[in-house]
């Protein structure tokens, strides 16, 4: 039983490894916190109404999850 757990644990890859694998495919992996930071910066930089509406729509999607909402509030959102 312990060997099965060890084998399963070794089958997982780290976040950094996954990022490198996805970069090889020209894809970007970001955590929710990284996305929140990016969206907050985009909102603060301003722009036209459509750009801000898109940012707010993306933020709305992310803050539906409780832990993301807590981070958003801590960031002054």
Query: Are both 46 and 59 inside the same structural domain?
Result: yes
**In terms of domains, do 60 and 70 share one?**
yes
SS3 29: coil
- pLDDT of the residue at 13: 81
76 and 39 fall within a common domain:
yes
* Whether residue 51 is found in the same domain as residue 25: no
Query: Does one domain contain both 36 and 6?
Result: no
- Determine the pLDDT at residue 1: 55
pTM comes to: 0.62
Distance between CA atoms of 38 and 45, rounded to whole angstroms? 11
DSSP 65: S
Structural domain boundaries, residue 49: 31-77
Higher pLDDT, 38 or 10: 38
Residue 2 has pLDDT above 70, yes or no: no
Q: pLDDT tens-digit profile of 24-75?
A: 888 787 888 899 999 999 999 988 999 999 999 998 888 888 787 888 888 8
Query: Is 70 exceeded by the pLDDT of residue 76?
Result: yes
Same structural domain for residues 23 and 50? no
């Amino acid at each position: 039983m312990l060997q099965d757990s060890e084998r399963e644990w070794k089958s997982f890859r780290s976040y950094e490894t996954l990022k490198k694998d996805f970069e090889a495919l020209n894809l970007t992996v970001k955590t929710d916190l990284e996305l929140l930071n990016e969206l907050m910066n985009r909102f603060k930089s301003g722009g036209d109404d459509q750009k801000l509406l898109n940012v707010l729509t993306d933020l709305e999607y992310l803050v539906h999850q409780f832990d993301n909402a807590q981070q958003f509030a801590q960031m002054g959102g």
